[in-house]
């Protein structure tokens, strides 16, 4: 049998990951915006970071998680 995780613990980890991904995405976005000629690699990294962030936001909405409850 596998280890059972409590829903609250998993939800808190999800929120932590969302905040980290948001910070990473905004950082990459700022670098790309300030670049004179952003490379396709940088643009792809930004899009990938945004996609991961938005995916986890949708998952949080699906689980009905609010960041206000966990502060």
Q: Is residue 52 part of a domain?
A: yes
Based on the number of CB atoms within 10 Å of its own CB, is 65 exposed (0-12), middle (13-18) or buried (19 or more)?
buried
Q: Is residue 70 part of a domain?
A: no
What's the pLDDT score for residue 8? 83
Q: Is residue 24 part of a domain?
A: yes
Q: Is residue 71 part of a domain?
A: no
Range of the domain at 21: 7-62
Q: Is residue 33 part of a domain?
A: yes
Question: Could you read off the pLDDT of 8-55 as tens digits, one per residue?
Answer: 888 889 999 999 999 999 999 999 999 999 999 999 999 999 999 999
Backbone angles phi, psi at 41, to 5 degrees: -65, -45
What's the pLDDT score for residue 39? 93
Total domains, the chain: 1
Global model pTM greater than 0.75: yes
Q: Is residue 50 part of a domain?
A: yes
């Amino acid at each position: 049998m596998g280890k059972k995780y409590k829903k609250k613990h998993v939800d808190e980890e999800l929120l932590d990951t969302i905040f980290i991904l948001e910070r990473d995405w905004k950082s990459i976005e700022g670098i790309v915006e300030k670049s004179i000629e952003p490379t396709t690699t940088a643009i792809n990294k930004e899009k990938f970071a945004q996609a991961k962030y938005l995916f986890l936001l949708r998952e949080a909405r699906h689980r009905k998680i609010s960041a206000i409850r966990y502060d």
